[in-house]
Amino acid sequence: SSLLLMSGVVVTVGLCRRLARRRLRSRPLLFAFLVEMFSTFQICACTNELSLLGNVEPKPHTALTLTYGFTVLHGLTLAGSTCNPCGTLQPMWGGGTSLRMGGLKIAAQFVAAVLARVLMHFIWSLEMAEPHLGALSQGCSSPMQTTEMQAFCIELLFSVVFQLAVLQAESVNPKYRVHLIALLITMLVYAGGNLTGAIFNPALAFSLHADCFYDKFLSYSLVYWLAPCLGKFLILYVF
């Protein structure tokens, strides 16, 4: 049921992106906002559902396999979208994207994060699948299983590694690049998922753990918003 749900999200987003591409080419700002929103929505909705499958046996093989598979699927279906506020900062820093366009895309990413969370919580409330039973009663299911300083350093390091890999993979054939990036993300999730969740995406972190941001805004904003952005700026400054 979860796989069908995530597949349905991917198909629906694909249709919405195609419709926007056909109808809104003459309105670049609205087109950019909607495409970025649809794309980020797909990642956030699927990852919300994947977060419920972490305990499916055999552990952690099932969760890691699904992470790799859907990361490849996102890479193949969401070409041209960043779906990550940190990724949007790079062209803004280099002057390739205006402040207005960059701000619009970041707004679209956080709007999508909220919409994905609302939709998935509504679906979970219907309890149509076994993983959905009791999913809404968890409240702040904190992914931070270490100290704030260690969590900050882990998310910072993972962001640096990921952004550096993305830069180095730009010269790789796209059909191989998506598998390399997916493999890296899966390895990072395996290495630090039990400590911080290995998210390194501010919009995705908010979609997954909004309750925790409400309860402990300062610590979670430092770990899941500031650390990834700082990692991005370190890469931009060095390279």
Q: Which of 85, 93, 96 is nearest to 44 (CA)?
A: 85
- Range scoring the smallest mean pLDDT among 28-37, 108-117, 135-144: 135-144
pTM of the model: 0.93
Confidence of residue 177 (pLDDT cuts 50, 70, 90): very high
**pLDDT value at position 33?**
95
Read off the pLDDT of each residue in 98-119 and give the average, rounded to a whole number: 95
pLDDT of the residue at 25: 80
Rounded Cα gap, residues 125 and 215, in angstroms: 22
- Taking only the tens place, the pLDDT of each residue in 165-174 is 988 888 888 8
Closest CA to 195 of 234, 132, 149, 137: 149
Q: Are 200 and 143 in contact (CB under 8 A)?
A: no
Count H helices, E strands: the chain?
11, 0
Task: Give CA angle at 228 (227, 233), nearest 5°.
Answer: 95
Domains and their CATH numbers in the chain: 2-238 (1.20.1080.10)
Query: For 9-62, what is each residue's pLDDT tens digit?
Result: 999 999 999 999 998 888 989 999 999 999 999 999 999 999 888 777 778 888
Decide if 63 contacts 56 (C-beta within 8 A): yes
